[in-house]
Amino acid sequence: MSLLRNFKIIDETETHIAEVDSNKRLKIAVDSEGWDDTNKVEIWDGTETAQINTDGRLLVESTINAIPATAVEYSGFALVNSGGSSDMAVNGSSTPQEFTFTPPASEVWYVERLTWMFNDNGSADPGDFAAIAGGLTNGVEIEVRSNGNTSTQGLIKTNIEVAQMFTEAAWTPTSGFMGGENVYMGSVIFRNSFRLSNSTSDYIKFTIQDDLSGLDFFKVTVLAWREQ
């Protein structure tokens, strides 16, 4: 079924400029005097072919059945360790602790956002990490494997480095709800989503390399989508 039927475009003088006629042909006039049978464009329903007719017309044959659409599914995931825990307030000073997101088997996901949130009830200056005075010694390492290519995206040791990387949609309480706590939440938003495929062992990984067990809360989440 054609989506174009009995459709006309006219100028201020009521002269046809474009029209879909009863045969479902889209005809476009190229002058202001009306239709010129030897100088116009016709688009037809049919077998999806195109040609220049002997009378100088371009003939395009195509059937419009539907507008294509793709359904997508959005989901949020927390980075987790090998035991399935998303609590990143752990001690990684002796043995680094890895927190990852990897697509399930046979799935491909496109990452739009990473969100960092931590809370530490104590004095938190820009050069600290949460309320850990002076920042971290080894830092939180951020690594991404996309399309089979691995790269280090950052090494964070201080609050100011957190704020510089996770700068979008940033929030920290000043009064009211959670106003007595040192909480920071911010995101990295990827304008062009990057691809993670299980078939190429892709992942996002945050590695804790210091003692963060004194933090009240620390979690990183992923917002991603996939085609259904």
| Cβ-proximal residues to 171 (8 Å cutoff; 6+ apart), any chain | 184, 185, 186
- DSSP-derived letter for residue 105 is T
- DSSP-derived letter for residue 200 is G
On whether residue 66 sits in a domain, the answer given is no
Same domain, residue pair 29 and 110? no
- pLDDT in the model for residue 187: 93
- pLDDT in the model for residue 146: 96
- Total domains, the chain: 2
Residue 26: which domain range? 8-61
Q: Which two tokens stand for residue 117?
A: 């949130």
On whether residue 186 sits in a domain, the answer given is yes
Same domain, residue pair 123 and 176? yes
- pLDDT in the model for residue 96: 98
- Nearest to residue 87, comparing CAs of 97, 74, 73? 97
Across the chain, which has 228 residues, the per-10-residue mean pLDDT values are: 46 54 59 46 46 50 58 91 97 98 94 94 88 96 96 95 87 55 86 93 98 95 90
Same domain, residue pair 56 and 128? no
Same domain, residue pair 49 and 96? no
Predicted model pTM: 0.68
Rounded CA separation 179/173 (Å):
5
- pLDDT in the model for residue 55: 52
Same domain, residue pair 131 and 157? yes
